[in-house]
Amino acid sequence: GNSVTQMEGPVTLSEEAFLTINCTYTATGYPSLFWYVQYPGEGLQLLLKATKADDKGSNKGFEATYRKETTSFHLEKGSVQVSDSAVYFCALSPNAGNNRKLIWGLGTSLAVNP
Amino acid sequence: ETGVTQSPTHLIKTRGQQVTLRCSSQSGHNTVSWYQQALGQGPQFIFQYYREEENGRGNFPPRFSGLQFPNYSSELNVNALELDDSALYLCASSSGAARSVSGNTIYFGEGSWLTVV
């Protein structure tokens, strides 16, 4: 079946540190991959996405590359800020027939200290 | 298995009708959030309940309302259904008010598919 596995949090970093949040997936066919972010007190927001192998999604300094050979979609940012403190979710859409439901990881909490 | 259960899993309603969706949160979780995910779109935040009170709301009209019960289970009610309300409705539970990033994990249910005809 389809599944998403994220690294467990919480992740605590100092401002300007390099961030990696690992995400691997299991899926049949060619899923689309997403990273969502939830800031404190707010709902989920789409951060970035990639719809085919080798695509790189990027937004607000965050990047993730769709690696089919390693079934991974790791989130990276070169220099985090306090305002990046949030919970990050990796998700996939199977893109199989009428199945459009997102399969979600459990989320990784990030705290950035000044 | 996230421990968050939603019901019903699928339902069909007629335009103008009312619908109630239910969510049982994971044991010990006092915060429930509801999302609407239209076909081909990402989930949109509807509102959040913490200890029986609404403490956050997205850009949805008042005909979307909710409740949280003392056991922290929750309902989403939608009145005067419109065709555009057809979507997957996701419930998510966590502990805490989601106003800190203390490592609380958010668990999602499988969702309720609503079709309005």
Q: What is the 3-state secondary structure (H, E, C) of chain B?
A: CCCCEEECCEEEECCCCCEEEEEECCCCCCEEEEEEECCCCCCEEEEEEECCEEEEECCCCCCEEEEECCCCCEEEEECCCCHHHCEEEEEEEECCCCCCCCCCCCEECCCEEEEEC
Task: Name every residue whose Cβ is closer than 8 Å to that of residue A68 and which is 6 or more positions away in sequence.
Answer: A53, A54
d(CA B93, CA B6): 11
DSSP state of A99: B
**Phi and psi at residue A80, to the nearest 5°:** -80, 155
Task: Name every residue whose Cβ is closer than 8 Å to that of residue A8 and which is 6 or more positions away in sequence.
Answer: A106, A108
Taking 60 as the threshold, does the pLDDT of residue B21 lie above it? Answer: yes
Q: Say which of B100, B103, B108 has its CB closest to residue A104.
A: B108
Q: Do B100 and A110 touch (CB under 8 A)?
A: no
B59 Cα to chain A: minimum distance (Å): 11
Q: How many CB atoms lie within 10 A of CB A107?
A: 28
Mean model confidence pLDDT for chain B = 85
Give the tens place of pLDDT for each residue, A19-43: 999 999 998 888 888 898 878 766 6
Taking 50 as the threshold, does the pLDDT of residue B101 lie above it? Answer: no
Give the tens place of pLDDT for each residue, B48-90: 888 899 888 888 999 999 999 999 999 999 999 999 999 989 8
* Under 8 Å between Cβ of B9 and B67: no
Task: Find, in chain B, the residue whose alpha carbon is nearest to that of A82.
Answer: B101
User: Which residues of chain A lie closer than 8 angstroms to B37, CB-CB?
Assistant: 101-102
Q: Do A10 and B44 touch (CB under 8 A)?
A: no
Collapsing DSSP to helix, strand or coil, A83 comes out as helix
Which carries the bigger pLDDT value, residue B61 or residue B37? B61
A8 Cα to chain B: minimum distance (Å): 9
Least confident span in A90-104, B15-29, B33-47: A90-104
Q: Do A101 and B98 touch (CB under 8 A)?
A: no
User: Which residues of chain B lie closer than 8 angstroms to A89, CB-CB?
Assistant: 106
Q: Is the backbone of residue A82 left (phi > 0), alpha (psi -120 to 50) or beta? A: alpha
pLDDT, residue B106, reads 65
Interchain CB contacts (distance < 8 Å): A and B = 64
* Under 8 Å between Cβ of A38 and A85: no
Beta strand B107-108 with B64-68: parallel, antiparallel or unpaired?
A: unpaired
pLDDT-derived band of residue B16, with 50, 70 and 90 as boundaries?
very high
Q: How many CB atoms lie within 10 A of CB A113?
A: 11
Mean model confidence pLDDT for chain A = 87
